[in-house]
Chain A
Amino acid sequence: MTVAVVQFGGSNCDRDAVRALEYLDIDAERVWHEDGLPADTTGVVVPGGFSYGDYLRAGAMAARSPIMDEVRDAAADGTPVLGVCNGAQIGCESGLTEGAFTTNESARFQCEHVHLRVERADTPWTENFEEGDVIEIPIAHGEGRFEISDERYDELVDNDRILFRYCDADGNLTDAANPNGSTHNVAGILGERESVAVLMPHPERVTLPDVGGTDGENILTGFRA
């Protein structure tokens, strides 16, 4: 019974994720990608960082490593999988989720607190929220602009795959509140199953009360479900 936090060369939010999960009494351990998923894996975090130096495209290398085959199989079997920041980029690159996260509109690395609107409250990651709730979570990325064709975007909407959107403090989806130019303010999406989600903001950085807000806690508790 453990959540595997997959560590690639260049991952740097793996320890934070383990600490945040343990604070929530969710058993978690770091797993080096070459070692594969432990037999007792009950959930997977693909953490933030700069796997393989973001060479080629952020997440491109890690997405094609053998452990991601195991992660895809686990996801297909219903194991909860959460990709955060670089983990979200890896999730899209590996086909766990649609679309791509690419260079911010500003062409700069951005590290700031943002507001997110909860678009679905009936997933393991959001069941403690109400639809339309506004939460505050930090971002820290240079390649977080969600990009997808119009046609595929319409499919995401039709299939209710949008989990979070960037918004202002009142929940309005404005351009000013969209930190990176993401298509229709998309900050996080679901995979084929509700148990698979990726998002650019960092819930593990707002879980321990000592370091600021705690809005991330109710996302990570998705691993309890």
Chain B
Amino acid sequence: MPAYTATVTVRLKSGVLDPEAETTKQALERLGFELDALRSADRFEIDLDADDAAEAEERAESMAERLLANPTIHDYEVSAAPAAESA
């Protein structure tokens, strides 16, 4: 089966306070950068073998639902692409 890399991006739902992002924003401002807002997200890259990209995405989505994201506070996105040669 071909090798794929599925990417799961987990971020806080809009409206959920992100104190770490706020602290990071303040640190950037202290360094003299100008910015309006900053959001952070967790990105998981999962190498797996699958029949096609759709199957790879489906499996990564199950992983997001079971463990990687907490539906109470998170939204997530999944995508999959053929794995890079060196992977």
Contacts and interface: CB of A to CB of B under 8 A. Distances in A.
Interface of A: 56-57, 60, 64, 92-93, 98-100, 102-107, 145, 147-149, 152, 181
Q: In this complex, which of B18, B22, B66, B73 has the most chain A Cβ atoms within 10 angstroms of its Cβ? A: B73
Q: In this complex, which of B18, B20, B23, B72 has the most chain A Cβ atoms within 10 angstroms of its Cβ? A: B72
A105 B17 contact: yes
A56 B17 CA distance: 18
Given A100-B73, A148-B72, A56 B19 contact: no
Contacts of A92: 72
B67 A64 contact: yes
A90 to B, nearest CB: 12
Contacts of B72: 92, 98-100, 147-149, 152
Contact of A60 (B16, B18, B70): B70
A147 B20 contact: no
Contact of B19 (A60, A105, A152): A105
Interface residues of B, number: 13
B50 interface: no
Interface in B49-85: 66-68, 70, 72-73
A56 B67 contact: yes
A57 B70 contact: yes
B38 to A, nearest CB: 13
B67 A103 contact: no
A145 B17 contact: yes
17 contacts: A56-B68, A60-B70, A93-B70, A99-B72, A100-B70, A100-B73, A102-B16, A103-B19, A105-B17, A105-B19, A107-B19, A145-B17, A147-B17, A147-B72, A148-B72, A181-B17, A181-B19
A147 B67 CA distance: 18
Given A99-B72, A100-B73, A147 B19 contact: no
A106 B19 contact: yes
Nearest to B12: A102
A152 B68 CA distance: 22
B67 A60 contact: yes
A102 B66 CA distance: 18
